A and B are shown apart, each in its own frame.
Chain A
Amino acid sequence: MTAVEVRGVSKVFNAGRANAVDALVDIDLSIEPGEFVSLIGPSGCGKSTQLRLIANLTEPTAGEVLVNGKPAHQARLDQDYGMAFQQSGLFDWRSVVRNIELPLELKGWDKAKRRSRALEMLELVKLSDFAEHFPWQLSGGMQQRVAIGRALAAHPPLLLMDEPFGALDEMTREHMQAELLRICSETSTTVVFVTHSIPEAVYLSTRVVVMSPRPGRITAMIDVDLGTRRDVETREADAFFRKITEVREALRGMDAVDPSLEVEPALGVEDR
């Protein structure tokens, strides 16, 4: 069974009106369990929209989305995935541990069970000492780690991430990437990851999906075979740089189609 199956999906915003926009056209994408797939592309290529379609936060205009073999809607009801956004989106009025408990509370777990799971998650993201702190007392990177802990609290098989490290500084970002890989391999979670940073996509992924805008579609799929153990040395390996070049050229290939397009800077603002 595939983790995510996207079949012939199109998404039109403002359908039938003068300002209709083809956000996604004819997307086919199949993701196996255990894969780490990055969606990369310039502004307006629909990569966030595609993630939101998988999350069933928006409905496709045509085609179907299956998550864990179920329709995306059912998968959302079953909390088959966890999600993390660019803003950590922690609730100010809840302590760190109670933020992580939120999805478990919504599922109706009892207090003792969700507290022990939340503490387990805090250990996973290495924030055990901060359980009773409040989000505003933490740094941006720590907040994002709490958000990852929250997303994984219910042990979903799938993690959807929309530029979760986009607002972090470079050093914190690299650290968080390494942490994410460790967490995902410890929990054997499948990840779909939206980014516009080429090195980030290559470092994290087993497969990079390159997308182009107007209309949004998939232009290339690049397998990244850097092995499962990736560390600081991976970042300095020749294979790493070759892959970066390959992705960059796939992205640049689109310039021939429309030279006005530019790849966004790493800290750009994502369109919705």
Chain B
Amino acid sequence: MFASALVLVAVVWELYKGLGPQNGGEVFGWSILPRANDLAMPHVWEMLSRYADPERRGSTDPIFFTVASGAWFSLRLALAGFAMGTLVGLGLAVLMARFKVVERGLLPYLVVSQTVPLIALAPLVVSWGGKLSIGSFEWPRWLSAAVIGAFLAFFPVAVGTLKGLTSAPPASLELMDSYAASWRQTLFKLRFPAAVPFMIPALKLAATASVIGVVVAEISTGLAGGIGRLIIEYARQTTSDPAKVYTAVFGAAALGLLMVGIVVATDLRLMRNRPKEATE
């Protein structure tokens, strides 16, 4: 399914490239159609074959290795951001589920937090981080990028988990009451298992969001070594090497897919014993 969708996108790309106007076009007087020349839209096979060519003249390794090591660098940041965001999101969700007053007071601010433009936030986090030092602990620059990933990731986790934690059927809650179960016991034996179907889509969102956060943070803070930096670097070279930037863009996309893949694998494992309707 996924593979055939990819092929379809490639076919549409090539079709437009073959038929579309070379220097862009107009629809009702607005110039919105992209240019179809080789500079703006390189052939799919050129993008793919670019992976085998060296990054720049003089170097011997194909660009594939550069992109892969950049992706690996960013993957670790995204995983760190995803982990932090998930922990914070879970913590907030539990607090909000436990205390109604916290939910009422906190939830609007969580929504507001997501409207802050990421590009503006990134340099701020870096400068705060630079001023932070706890004992002998020096705030590394990569941590700022991970924090920005976490900042995007925690929100869906908090909202999805909260919805899940409050979704336990009243009859089941009453059953736990009849056993005089503590709030903690009810949380771990009933509310969390009941929340899993709500948490999985939230975690998928968080996984992609943490990748986006990390990539944007790398770009706007100038953190070297990751896929974000490669994208911005290669984008500057489009005039001479139009296919190059796509190698990095696809690398970033693969990163997002890999993160979602991790969540899907967890999902399959957690839901293997549930009724089939609930997993769909």
Q: Which residues of A contact B (CB under 8 A)?
A: 55, 57, 76-79, 81, 83, 85, 87, 89, 91-93, 95, 102-103, 105-106, 134, 136
Contact = CB atoms under 8 A, between A and B. Distances in A.
Interface string B175-193: 1111111000100011001
A134 B178 contact: no
25 contacts: A57-B174, A76-B177, A76-B178, A79-B180, A83-B178, A85-B171, A85-B174, A89-B172, A89-B175, A91-B172, A91-B189, A91-B190, A91-B193, A92-B273, A92-B274, A93-B193, A95-B273, A102-B179, A105-B189, A106-B176, A106-B185, A106-B189, A134-B275, A136-B274, A136-B275
B278 interface: yes
Interface residues of B, number: 20
Contact of B177 (A57, A105, A134, A136): A57
Chain B contact residues: over half helix, strand or loop, or mixed?
helix
Interface in B161-179: 169, 171-172, 174-179
A83 B275 contact: no
Contacts of A57: 174, 177-178
Contacts of B181: 106
Contact of B189 (A77, A78, A92, A102): A102
A152 to B, nearest CB: 13
B178 A92 contact: no
Given A85-B171, A87-B171, A102-B189, A93 B274 contact: yes
Given A93-B196, A106-B179, 20 more contacts: A55-B178, A57-B174, A57-B177, A78-B180, A83-B178, A85-B171, A87-B169, A87-B171, A91-B189, A92-B273, A92-B278, A93-B273, A102-B179, A102-B189, A105-B189, A106-B176, A106-B181, A106-B189, A134-B273, A134-B275
A77 B274 contact: no
Contacts of A78: 180
B38 to A, nearest CB: 55
Question: Max chain B CB contacts within 10 Å: which of A57, A87, A91, A105?
Answer: A91
Contacts of A102: 179, 189
A93 B279 CA distance: 12
Contacts of A81: 178
A222 B255 CA distance: 73
A219 to B, nearest CB: 28
A89 B189 CA distance: 14
Contact of B171 (A55, A89, A92, A95): A89
Contacts of A83: 175, 178
Question: Max chain A CB contacts within 10 Å: which of B169, B174, B178?
Answer: B178
Nearest to B276: A136
Contacts of A93: 193, 196, 273-274
Nearest to B170: A272
Contacts of A134: 273-275
Nearest to B196: A93
A78 B178 CA distance: 10
A95 B273 CA distance: 8
A50 B148 CA distance: 55
A102 B275 CA distance: 20
A19 to B, nearest CB: 21
Contacts of A136: 274-275
B45 to A, nearest CB: 48
B39 to A, nearest CB: 55
Contact of B180 (A77, A87, A105): A77
Question: Max chain A CB contacts within 10 Å: which of B174, B177, B179, B190?
Answer: B179
Given A89-B172, A91-B190, A103 B274 contact: no
Interface string B196-208: 1000000000000
A111 B273 CA distance: 21
Contacts of B169: 87, 89
A270 to B, nearest CB: 12
A93 B272 CA distance: 9
A136 to B, nearest CB: 4
Contacts of B174: 57, 85
B223 to A, nearest CB: 41
Contacts of B189: 91, 102, 105-106
A135 to B, nearest CB: 8
A92 B275 contact: yes
Nearest to B174: A57
